[in-house]
Amino acid sequence: MDQNNLGTHIQELENKVAVLTRLAEVSTVLNSTLQLERLLGYLMDAAADIAGAEAASVLLWNHRSHQLFFAATTTGSTSQALIGKPVPLEGSVAGMIMRERRPVVINDALNDPRIYKKAGQEIQFVTRSLLGVPMTSKDKLIGVMEVLNKRRLPWTDEDRQYMTVLASQAAVAIEAAQMLMALQKANEELNELDKLKNDFIAIASHELRTPLGVIMGYASFLQESEDNEVNEHATKVLESALQLRGIIEGMTNLRYLKQKASELVREPVPLSKLLRDVSREAAVQASAKEHQVDIRFPADDIHVYVDAGRMRMALNNLLNNAVRFTPDRGQIHVETRLNGQEEVVVSINDNGIGLTEEQMKRIFDEFYQVEDHMIRKHGGLGIGLSIAKAVIDAHGGRIWATSPGLNKGATFYLSIPLASADMLAKARK
């Protein structure tokens, strides 16, 4: 090999190393961003540079409209007019690449009938030569990458290989960016739907509470009637109204299913006060079913470290659950006991419908109902216990249930953190 040939060979090797190095750099950049617009802009510059071409473009396939459209170009500011424009599958090189899933090389585009001239005419760009390759990610064809007007013709086999590698790298990055955009859009839509749902629930519950309160008051008044038939009908109306009130409260409390510890406003609170508040709230429903509710209040000096509003709601859900799933004239017992220096355990026992082992595994699942939805007698949304668990978990406590079996009652336990002496001292200051 003479000196000139050796020099040429070395130059070719250096060029190949430079291109491969650039491809490696491009791969790193493409995989470091999930912003589609930025990714496509970088890809266009890299493709034109590596191919030694005047311009480049990416056309992506829209699976919904079944169209190929311009997603990015580098032919100057006027080329932005092409973004979003469709290209026909028949009568264009890009369409042929999509259909045949193979690269296409054209060195004399001015005289090639396959060239789609309308796009160039729109931005006054003349295509003299073209190299196009399919963009595939895991055998999924997502579009076409083209480089146009090679500065030193003809296109070489190495050009085709380099563009094929670059297109494959880009396809993976583009698909990932598209997936992220789809997820972000879906998340925005879900947030909007969630807002609409919350607005609807707030309005509906507000509009229902006033007439419901009137119905409950009137039914309670009629219960005092000496006419047994009127008394009986009033009791049924009151029970239905109480059931509806429970559903309304469940609707408004849906947001607490995702309760976080950081959202709690905690302070030392007498446990006896919490239980007295809860017993008053449950009294109407318990009275309607003629239950005997026995609450053994703890000493007034036992304080728990809780968000009072949230914990009151959790206790109320548990007590209402016992009232609802215990047949008329049932027995409900609430007790408390200290468990070491750090927590107190509250137990709520009833002689109601009980639970199977399988039901106990799922009893705290969201929207779980122990009754078949076709033959349900006790109503509710199936979220009261789930909300109670979310609240207890956020406080760092525990909640569990036991039952001897069906129709043998059940006992629900929850542990609540005690307020330390330091917490009490700070609260008194």
Highest mean pLDDT among 182-196, 229-243, 255-269: 182-196
**Is the predicted pLDDT of residue 245 greater than 80, yes or no?**
no
pLDDT digits (tens, 9 = 90+) for 101-149: 999 999 999 999 999 988 888 888 999 999 999 999 888 899 999 999 9
Residue 373 confidence (pLDDT): 41
Cis, bond preceding 154 (omega within 30 deg of 0) = yes
Q: Over 60: is that where the pLDDT of 77 sits?
A: no
Selected residue with higher pLDDT from 383 and 62: 62
Strand partners, 413: 347, 400
Q: What gap in Å lies between CA 197 and CA 199, rounded to an integer? A: 5
User: How would DSSP label each residue in 143-164?
Assistant: EEEEEEEESSSSP-HHHHHHHH
Q: How confident is the model at residue 349 (pLDDT cuts 50, 70, 90)?
A: very high
Tell me how far apart the alpha carbons of residues 32 and 39 are, in angstroms, rounded to a whole number: 9
| CATH 3.30.450.40 domain residues, the chain | 3-184
Higher-confidence residue of 276 and 264: namely 276
Top pLDDT among 210 and 169 is at: 169
- How much is the pLDDT for 283? 85
User: Token pair 């069906």 is at which residue?
Assistant: 406
| Predicted pLDDT of residue 240 | 75
Maximum C-alpha span of the chain: 124
pLDDT classification of 334: cutoffs 50, 70, 90: very high
pLDDT of residue 414: 95
At a CB cut-off of 8 Å and minimum separation 6, what does 385 contact? Answer: 317, 318, 321, 363, 364, 368, 412
Q: Where in 219-291 does DSSP place strands (E)?
A: 267-270
Whether residue 374 is predicted with pLDDT greater than 60 in this model: the reply is no
Q: What is the pLDDT of residue 63?
A: 86
Provide, rounded to the nearest whole percent, the portion of the chain with pLDDT above 90. 38
- Return the bridge partners of 132, or none: 104, 146
Give the per-residue pLDDT at 226: 75
Specify the pLDDT at position 178. 86
pLDDT value of position 7: 60
* Average of per-residue pLDDT across 340-369: 89
68-88 CB burial, b ≥16 within 10 A, e <16:
bbbbbbbbeeebeebeeeebe
Specify the range with the lowest mean pLDDT, choosing from 4-18, 128-142, 294-308, 356-370.
Answer: 4-18
Q: Tell me the two tokens of residue 381.
A: 């949304």
Mean model confidence pLDDT for the chain: 84
Output the pTM of the full model: 0.52
User: For residue 80, what is the enclosing H or E element?
Assistant: none
Spatial strand order in the sheet of 398-402: 292-295, 331-339, 343-350, 410-417, 398-402
Dihedral over alpha carbons 257, 261, 264, 270 (to 10 degrees): 100
Question: CA-CA-CA-CA torsion for 270, 273, 274, 277, nearest 10 degrees?
Answer: -170
What residue spans in the chain does CATH classification 3.30.565.10 cover? 265-428
Domain boundaries 3-184, CATH class? alpha beta
Going by pLDDT thresholds of 50, 70 and 90, the confidence category of residue 376 is very low
d(CA 353, CA 260): 32
Q: Is the pLDDT of residue 381 over 60?
A: no
Would you say residue 403 has pLDDT above 80? yes
The CATH architecture to which 265-428 belongs is: 2-Layer Sandwich (3.30)
pLDDT score for 238: 75
Share of the chain above pLDDT 70, in %: 87
Residues 6+ apart with CB under 8 A from 114: 91, 92, 93, 96, 104, 106
More confident residue, 250 or 141: 141
* Cα distances (angstroms) measured from residue 364 to each of 50, 358, 385, 401, 413: 60, 12, 5, 9, 12
417: closest CA among 357, 367, 346, 343?
343
DSSP state at residue 299: P
Higher pLDDT, 222 or 313: 313
More confident residue, 34 or 387: 387
Predicted local confidence at residue 417, as pLDDT: 93
- Radius of gyration in angstroms for the set of CA atoms belonging to the chain, rounded to a whole number: 36
Q: In this model, does residue 254 exceed pLDDT 70?
A: no
Report the range of poorest mean pLDDT among 27-41, 53-67, 172-186. 27-41
> What is the C-alpha separation between 160 and 191, in angstroms, rounded?
46
Taking phi over 0 as left and psi of -120 to 50 as alpha, with beta for the rest, 103 belongs to beta
